[in-house]
Amino acid sequence: MPCISEMEFEGIPRSHPRYLSLVLRERVVEGFRRGVVVAEGLIAHGRGECFDYLLGEETREFAVEAMRAAVAALLLAKHPVLSVNGNTAALAGKAVVELAEATGALIEVNLFYRTEERARRIGELLRACGAREVLGVDDATARIPGLEHPRGMTSPRGIYSADVVLVALEDGDRTMALRRMGKKVIAIDLNPLSRTARTADITIVDNVVRALPLMAKMAREMKGLSKEELEDILERYDNNRVLAEALEYIAGRLQELSGGKLVLEP
């Protein structure tokens, strides 16, 4: 079974003005057909599409700033882990593997709607995308305190003992539980208002399909920086300001598109 994020989807004309958006839908639907993405993941994708529209479907400066801080945190970490769910595996499996290789992070399948069968399928998909080791498939024996049900299960070698965890399309409750465990949490979430976005230490308001490959490239470049330089990037970073800039950007864009008809209080 091929890596979904590297598949070509015949039947979508390249000339279509929404070609990329249609390809992303096909990736999620293919993931659904393979038992990688849950039905709820299709809804989550639609919500993401809506926020991506508001961002103009491009990576903005506030996201780049958050990515730099995130890469610095991953490179400084003793035990960094990339948490992968069904949607992320289908949309950007290859880029997850590239980021793991560039930062030395481990990859763990960590699911909100966990079943052992789906974890296994996601593990297989990530291996098809080039991952050498995938945690959380048959070793999710440790529970995140405060999270009942299978959604709380993690690998003792992975998220459970990690100091820095990157999550994408994550649930706010689990993000909070990871923070309570003392971990630094990096979130990729198109919605700057979500509980995850507002709880994480570093929030990248961007699409995983753009953010993850760009972060892998940044990591390869930033590897040459000293520990002090990386620490300096982290110290200067302010997540509240970055989130405010994301909202300001969306509001400004709506204002512009409405021809200045929206009244924004100063």
We find the least distance from the C-beta atom of residue 93 to ligand PTJ, in angstroms, to be: 13
| Size of interface with ligand PTJ, in residues (CB under 6 A) | 26
For 53-92, give the DSSP string.
HHTTTS--HHHHHHHHHHHHHHHH-SSEEEEE-HHHHHHH
Q: Which of 31, 48, 123, 152 binds ligand PTJ (CB under 6 A)?
A: 48
**Residue 208 near ligand PTJ by CB under 6 A:** yes
Smallest distance, Å, CB 113 to ligand PTJ?
A: 4
Sign of CA dihedral 47, 49, 54, 55: positive
What is the separation of C-alpha 46 from the centre of its chain, rounded to a whole number of angstroms?
A: 16
Binding mask 90-119 for ligand PTJ (x = CB under 6 A): -x-------------------xxx------
Give the interface segment with ligand PTJ, choosing from 42-50, 123-131, 215-223, 247-255 (CB under 6 A).
42-50
Q: Which of 3, 4, 23, 38 binds ligand PTJ (CB under 6 A)?
A: 38
What is the rounded distance in angstroms from the CA atom of residue 28 to the CA atom of residue 47? 13
122 touches 157 (CB < 8 A): no
CB-neighbour burial class of residue 235 (10 A; exposed 0-12, middle 13-18, buried 19+) = exposed
- Helix, strand, or coil (residue 51): helix
- By rule CB under 6 A, what string of x and - marks binding of each residue 151-170 to ligand PTJ? -----------------xxx
The count of other CB atoms within 10 Å of the CB of residue 12 is: 16
171 binds ligand PTJ (CB under 6 A): yes
Q: Who's near 66: CB < 8 A, 6+ residues apart?
A: 202, 203, 204, 205, 237, 239, 242
What does DSSP say about strands 153-154 and 164-168: parallel, antiparallel, or unpaired? Answer: unpaired
Among 45, 68, 94, 184, binds ligand PTJ (CB under 6 A): 45
Residue of minimal CB distance from ligand PTJ?
48
Distance in Å, CB of 263 to ligand PTJ, minimum: 27
Dihedral-angle region of residue 98 (phi above 0 means left; psi in -120 to 50 means alpha; beta otherwise)? alpha
Least Å distance between CB 9 and ligand PTJ?
17
Note whether 194 binds ligand PTJ by CB under 6 A.
Answer: yes
85 binds ligand PTJ (CB under 6 A): yes
Q: What is the dihedral of CA 203, 204, 209, 213, to 10 degrees?
A: -110
Given candidates 87, 155, 199, 203, which one binds ligand PTJ under the rule CB under 6 A? 87
- Contact set with ligand PTJ (CB under 6 A): 38, 40-41, 44-45, 47-48, 51, 85-87, 91, 111-113, 168-171, 188-191, 194, 207-208
